Amino acid sequence: MVKLIYLKNDWKQIAREPIMMILFLCPVLISIVFRFLTEFLMPAIFQYFNQSFTPFMPYALALTLIFCPMMIGIVMGFMMMEDKDGKIIELMSVTPLARQGYIANRLVFAVGATILHTIISYIIMGQYIFTVLTLLLITGILSALAIVIGLVFFSVATDKIKGLTYAKGLNLIVIFAFADLLKGNFIKMISLGFPTYWIAQIVQSPSQLTGYMFGFISCMFWLVVVLQIGKFRVNE
């Protein structure tokens, strides 16, 4: 019951902040736009040049799914930043929830919102190429990525203006999803260490277990890095 109350408060916090509301709804809006592009505009453009857009369809789906944890992670970071400025985190230490419970609540929010948006985006895109197990596994990786993004965002941004700037920078990791389309081995080697690359690999080859394994490993690696270098300081 307590967790439900805090989740309701999370939603109220998002609803009263236009920036967070827009970011929270972005994955759905992006999915609708990408569905229109992949169904009508892009095929027409490629057909004009006597090319097929079909080989690039998995990349469109991968990009749509990747935006789910990216946006939710940023929303999570914004919420924690607001709570930090309002001394909410300090007050949590004297409540039954406590600081550890507060962090756990934020992680539950990030995971739950990512799962919801991933399923919605997958349905909107209409590329039903996943089994139920595959969808669950890729949702797990996306949820872990949302947590990493949220903690990184919260640890480096000191206010909302800087937060939006950092958000643009964090979105650059989306490029690694298209590493196979880029020339040069250097960018491909770097992309191996980022979850976005492996998410794209899973979408292209759902039956290959290496994508899932390295996707989780890369998420855990970056999570450990964020925590170990001490940039995430909930007490500050």
In a domain, 157, yes or no: yes
In a domain, 235, yes or no: no
DSSP secondary-structure letter at 127?
-
Rounded average pLDDT over 174-180:
89
Measured between alpha carbons, how far is 181 from 11 in angstroms, rounded to an integer? 39
DSSP secondary-structure letter at 53?
S
Give phi and psi for 94, each to the nearest 5. Answer: -105, 10
The pLDDT tens digits for 203-221 are: 999 988 999 999 999 999 9
What three-state secondary structure class fits 207?
A: coil
List the domain range (segments joined by +) for residue 80.
2-228
How many structural domains does the chain have? Answer: 1
Both tokens of 225, joined, read: 């890095």
In a domain, 233, yes or no: no
Is residue 53 a contact partner of residue 127, using CB atoms and an 8 Å limit? no
Dihedral angle sign, alpha carbons of residues 78, 195, 130, 52:
positive
In a domain, 41, yes or no: yes
In a domain, 151, yes or no: yes
The pLDDT tens digits for 127-170 are: 888 889 999 999 999 999 999 888 887 777 666 677 677 777 77
pTM attached to this predicted model = 0.85
Measured between alpha carbons, how far is 35 from 23 in angstroms, rounded to an integer? 19
Q: Provide CB contacts within 8 A for 80, sequence distance 6+.
A: 89, 106, 150, 154
In a domain, 55, yes or no: yes
Q: What is the pLDDT at residue 202? A: 94
Q: What is the pLDDT at residue 234? A: 46
What length does the chain have?
Answer: 236
Q: What is the pLDDT at residue 229? A: 64
- To the nearest 10 degrees (0 to 180), the angle between helices 18-36 and 2-15 is 80
Measured between alpha carbons, how far is 67 from 113 in angstroms, rounded to an integer? 12
How far is CA 183 from each of CA 56, 115, 144, 196, rounded to the nearest angstrom?
16, 33, 29, 18
Alpha carbon 152 to chain centroid, angstroms = 12
In a domain, 128, yes or no: yes
